[in-house]
């Protein structure tokens, strides 16, 4: 090959590469100086909505950022990473000859920072047949706490299912930044429904969520529902009643949205001690029917319980964002 052909080949390469011809040079110069490009982080842990800045050291070349999955996290031209939804992905960077990546793990949004949720797992291992007023100052008495239903096909106790979901919900809410108060974490307690509401009041909870399962004489009935105080409730302030109704709707929609359970709507009632003694927004969630063989099996299923917990947490998030922010 003569010199003229070599020069033409080099010129053609330079013309084709344009500005990019500087990039390999930049890398080679770094290598000669004993420097290599590094990313400011090789792993990132972000909550949905959070951002982080990635930078590339020892670089003068043009930087190109890309996300392996923009549905999980995006990155802009200046290396700002934004967490979009839960999951894992990588941010890739290209500069000169350098190819680097940063693993990104995205957790649920920290919606709950500064908020307190009180969770009541309905019932308990043994019922307490003593009575208490259904609300402050009321002369209507009701059993302190009942045993709860039993699964028609599994034989599972409602109190045990309520507790299992309550514990999962606690983990889910804490991961989202909430402070969580549990009325009970064991079957071996003796707490009346009024006493449970008092625990929520003492914590000045932003929401008091009571977890239950339903039972019907009609074995084909299935689906989830929620109970909120009615507008003419005389025990709760008007503001607490409205907020409770909003909470009930949000949590029920969150639950059914995540699990696919039938949405049977919000019922308004003024005869529940656990609602009437509450001074904070309160809703009782009927997660499904233990009298329906199919739903009974789901309610005892670990994966389904995780879906319930996530769905209820989504509903609490929605309530906080839409009504308390």
Applying CB under 5 A, which residues contact Zn ion? 122, 148, 212
Least distance CB 160 / Zn ion (angstroms): 12
Contact of 87 with 73, CB cutoff 8 Å:
no
Least distance CB 121 / Zn ion (angstroms): 10
Give the torsion sign (CA, 269, 249, 213, 185).
negative
Burial of residue 263, with CB atoms counted within 10 A of its CB: 0-12 exposed, 13-18 middle, 19 or more buried: middle
Least distance CB 122 / Zn ion (angstroms): 4
Burial of residue 143, with CB atoms counted within 10 A of its CB: 0-12 exposed, 13-18 middle, 19 or more buried: middle
List Cβ neighbours of 219 (8 Å cut-off, separation of 6 or more): 152, 291, 292, 293
Least distance CB 40 / Zn ion (angstroms): 52
When the beta carbons of 123 and 258 are compared against Zn ion, the nearer one is 123
Q: Which residue's Cβ has the minimum distance to Zn ion?
A: 212
Least distance CB 153 / Zn ion (angstroms): 18
Residue 20 exposure: Cα atoms within 13 Å on the Cβ side: 12
Least distance CB 43 / Zn ion (angstroms): 44
Task: Report the candidate in 168, 158, 173, 170 with the shortest Cα–Cα distance to residue 122.
Answer: 158
Question: What H or E segment, with its residue span, contains residue 75?
Answer: strand 73-75
When the beta carbons of 67 and 193 are compared against Zn ion, the nearer one is 193
Radius of gyration of the chain (CA): 29
When the beta carbons of 54 and 163 are compared against Zn ion, the nearer one is 163
Least distance CB 166 / Zn ion (angstroms): 12
When the beta carbons of 210 and 258 are compared against Zn ion, the nearer one is 210
When the beta carbons of 148 and 311 are compared against Zn ion, the nearer one is 148
Burial of residue 239, with CB atoms counted within 10 A of its CB: 0-12 exposed, 13-18 middle, 19 or more buried: exposed
When the beta carbons of 75 and 189 are compared against Zn ion, the nearer one is 189
When the beta carbons of 51 and 126 are compared against Zn ion, the nearer one is 126
Least distance CB 41 / Zn ion (angstroms): 48
**Cα-based torsion angle of the residue sequence 217, 219, 223, 225 in order, rounded to the nearest 10 degrees:** 0
When the beta carbons of 52 and 209 are compared against Zn ion, the nearer one is 209
Would you call 100 helix, strand, or coil by DSSP?
Answer: strand
List Cβ neighbours of 92 (8 Å cut-off, separation of 6 or more): 65, 66, 67, 68, 99, 100, 101
Contact of 193 with 149, CB cutoff 8 Å:
no
């Amino acid at each position: 090959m003569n010199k003229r052909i070599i020069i033409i080949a080099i010129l053609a390469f330079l013309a084709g590469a344009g500005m990019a011809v500087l990039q390999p040079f930049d890398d080679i110069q770094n290598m000669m100086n004993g420097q290599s490009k590094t990313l400011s982080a090789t792993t990132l842990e972000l909550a949905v909505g959070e951002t982080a800045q990635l930078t590339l050291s020892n670089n003068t070349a043009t930087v190109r950022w890309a996300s392996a999955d923009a549905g999980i996290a995006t990155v802009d031209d200046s290396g700002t990473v934004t967490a979009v939804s839960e999951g894992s992905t990588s941010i890739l960077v290209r500069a000169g000859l350098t190819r680097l990546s940063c693993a990104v793990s995205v957790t649920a949004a920290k919606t709950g920072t500064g908020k307190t949720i009180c969770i009541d797992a309905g019932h308990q291992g043994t019922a307490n047949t003593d009575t208490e007023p259904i609300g402050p100052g009321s002369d209507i008495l009701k059993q302190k706490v009942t045993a709860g239903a039993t699964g028609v096909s599994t034989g599972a106790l409602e109190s045990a299912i309520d507790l299992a979901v309550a514990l999962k919900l606690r983990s889910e809410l804490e991961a989202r930044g909430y402070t969580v108060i549990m009325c009970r974490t064991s079957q071996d307690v003796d707490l009346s429904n009024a006493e449970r509401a008092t625990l929520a009041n003492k914590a000045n909870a932003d929401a008091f969520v009571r977890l239950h399962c339903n039972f019907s004489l009609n074995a084909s009935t299935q689906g989830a529902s929620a109970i909120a105080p009615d507008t003419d409730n005389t025990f709760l302030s008007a503001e607490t009643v409205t907020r409770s109704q909003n909470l009930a709707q949000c949590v029920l929609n969150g639950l059914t949205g995540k699990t696919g359970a039938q949405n049977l709507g919000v019922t308004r009632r003024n005869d529940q001690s656990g609602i009437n003694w509450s001074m904070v927004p309160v809703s009782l969630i009927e997660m499904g029917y233990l009298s329906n063989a199919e739903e009974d099996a789901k309610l005892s299923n670990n994966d389904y319980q995780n879906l319930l917990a996530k769905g209820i947490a989504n509903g609490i998030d929605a309530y906080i964002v839409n009504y308390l922010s």
